[in-house]
Chains A and B, each alone.
Chain A
């Protein structure tokens, strides 16, 4: 029983990562109509920037929390700039193109980012994570040890999801983003600055991807490809939310995390969770109406 509970904790932390990564995908897709296959790669690159700040050079005289804060701030700052640059240089120019073309462009971005990171940080596996909470800190809940880092991840995922949802619902800029998401042309006619909305969506999406990437480092041996390929699990979670609903996406992330974790009690296989993600993707797509996803016609 306690084994089952321990796996539940692992699954929920993994699910929180999927949920975080999927949130950025949903945000960018809803507002700009781009299904971003490079989302994992963007998060990966920002994560490595943070990692470089953390481990790359000595921080004499700085307390460890300050080093962590510095690394995370630099990583997140880089993510915002990366999102803005991609919007300005690439996606602003293809706004009226078919959806598939925009998706293929993100594959180009994926390939470029992954190989650029691999040139800088080589194809090594890294296992020196950035801990937000001390590694040894654990809670005990009904005899089940829960790592503090797992708690941090789940709290951050839920917080960001509700924060984003509230931002979209109650702020003026959030309303502008939803207007663009419904109909860019009429939003522009009503005086919404579509360019600014697109830029902010990309910056926010990239930021959320970086948060997911940095938070996952305590849980896996990471390298440039594994974080890039996290995109498949994130897409599965995003599909559960129908690529539009933020709460359902978070729920989907947790569900997928648990579904991928429980079988590892019996099946020791590195590749098996990928099969589960594929089955979830197929199940969601086949059960949904054949008309496909909202906004898919754009």
Chain B
């Protein structure tokens, strides 16, 4: 197994080196998009673990990200802690919520879990993130303002050093992505997949359902929270809008669309979710064939909805799964039909 580890590690380093350079020459708005893409990529990666590996449905991943963002904002702007501490607090808060959501999930699965997680997303969107009882956590109507933050003496505030925050988050994402691929083959990963395929069979084989379901929820929520805890850094403030219930639904939709079983789909999905709407709204206006037109953000969500429906009918394994399948077939063709073998999924 060693060569596989080395190859993955090398790919991650090359990906980091290339992606870290990519937004350097771009204007501020695109640098913001690049950083935001990573936040959502963490959100979808958390779904790869929870849904793709462990088979648990969740419609509240943006809520975990939001709790991470508010946890960090509260620590830095409210309690005047360092930003590193803010990230730790944000991730911890998200993990605690993840375990709390995981508790009912011990008895539920499939559509009932979808209903519960949708309810949680709505409660946090309309109540926790907006009600005055929770002002200590959300910073009141204006939210938390984060300026002049630094991580380990590196300036990372959004106004001047946005790319520093981007680089740190990118490094974290590359590390997490490699760990996620490794997890797939590890003992815990095999147990997650056993739970996905059949909870009864998994528990018969001695998988501790309670421990591994809660572990999946805690790790997944922590991952989404890690991405979210960088949001105040990138945007300069936190507000409920980015983490409302429709973001959760979009994360689920885009995760499934890109291929919820595959780690690279998370990067693809994050990029799609942050860059496409911005490009559409920024350049999608003008005159076409004598008619004035303007593409608003709603067109993006409309496209996501329609694409999701089409994908689930036509490409059940998602975009990345389809690419993988085609690549495998081409490899087989090149090698010749002589040594046909059944390929494990």
Residues of A within 8 A of B (CB): 35, 37, 90, 93-94, 97, 99-101, 103-105, 107-116, 118-119, 225, 229, 231-232, 235-236, 239, 269-272, 274-275, 277-278, 281-282, 285-286, 290, 292-293, 296
Contacts and interface: CB of A to CB of B under 8 A. Distances in A.
B163 interface: no
Q: Main SS of chain B's interface residues?
A: helix
Contacts, number: 147
A235 B115 contact: yes
B112 A285 contact: yes
A272 B308 CA distance: 32
B214 interface: no
Contact of A115 (B57, B298, B309): B298
Given A235-B115, A274-B127, A296 B110 contact: yes
B48 interface: no
B122 interface: yes
Across chains A and B, which 7 residue pairs bring their CB atoms closest together, nearest first? A271-B127, A112-B305, A108-B308, A111-B305, A271-B126, A115-B301, A278-B119
Contacts of A103: 57, 110-111, 114
Interface stretch (B171-179, B187-195, B245-253): B245-253
B202 interface: no
Contacts of A35: 111, 114-115
Given A111-B304, A282-B119, 16 more contacts: A35-B114, A37-B118, A90-B309, A101-B316, A105-B313, A108-B304, A112-B309, A115-B305, A119-B299, A229-B122, A231-B118, A235-B118, A269-B127, A272-B127, A274-B119, A274-B122
Interface string B115-131: 11011101100111011
A110 B249 contact: yes
Contact of A285 (B59, B107, B312): B107
A293 B114 contact: no
B107 A278 contact: no
A47 to B, nearest CB: 18
B7 to A, nearest CB: 33
Contacts of A235: 115, 118-119
Contact of A281 (B57, B59, B119, B127): B119
Contact of B313 (A90, A118, A275, A286): A90
